[in-house]
Amino acid sequence: MPVEITWWGHATCTVEDSGVRLLTDPLFARRLAHLRRRRGAVPPPQASLADAVLVSHLHSDHLHLPSLARLAAGTRLLVPRGARRAVPGLARIADLRGLAVTEMSPGDGTTVAGSAGEVRVRAVSASHDGRRLPFGPRLAPALGYVVEGAARTYFAGDTGLFDSMVQEVGPVDVALLPVGGWGPYLGPGHLDPAGAARALALLAPAAALPVHWGTYWPIGMDAVRPHEFHSPGEEFVRHARREAPKVAVVVPAHGERVRLP
């Protein structure tokens, strides 16, 4: 049974496998601080339906409290260990909405049940400063997740390359890799299209999908390095053809659902 992925924009995806519906880093806002959504409609209400939500780190464009407030009562929420202490609003929303919060560290695993089956979710490391900026110590690690059902799907969250990536992630069928960002320059702890292609060559999945690009951009900066907004998806395809020619790369439109591998 293949896995089905819907990319809603930025790092937000719905992963459907074995009758289980998982949602990654939900961000359902038209505007977030100095960022506005420049491409793709705000996801519809059904995008918030999930058996579990995977939150990779505490940055507000990945752990977005108003978006979590849209989740249905009883939804499981997998977050980095320490998230509740670092982000007090998370506990308030979890109590208000009846969300079941599970804190995870790299190496932890849990079973998520859905309407017609279950999957195993493993937390893995990420090379990224995942604290709640612009303040606060590093109270929680940045994570990636591997969903193990009929397929094995790696959601990298935000990350750069790191030495134990292949060992921790293990063999996977599908990789959801970040290839860009929300501003004209990427700092440390991010994959650009070339770096994501190198990760692809190391992981060697059957299929890959680029995320974290072409959605949000700072207000008033449309003319500043616009290629960093528009081109990362296509650049990833070009680099992947050279670095990992056996991997099928799919670049969906916002809101498009694809079947992989």
pLDDT tens per residue, range 163-203: 999 999 999 999 999 999 999 988 889 999 999 999 999 99
Band (pLDDT 50/70/90 cuts) for residue 204 is: very high
Does residue 115 carry a pLDDT above 90? Answer: no
Whether 27 has a pLDDT exceeding 80, the answer reads: yes
Q: Read off the pLDDT of residues 122-170 as tens digits, 9 standing for 90 and up.
A: 999 999 987 776 556 567 899 999 999 999 999 999 999 999 999 999 9
Q: Which residues of 184-209 are buried (b: 16+ CB within 10 A; e: fewer)?
A: eebeebbbbbbbbbbbbbebebbbbb
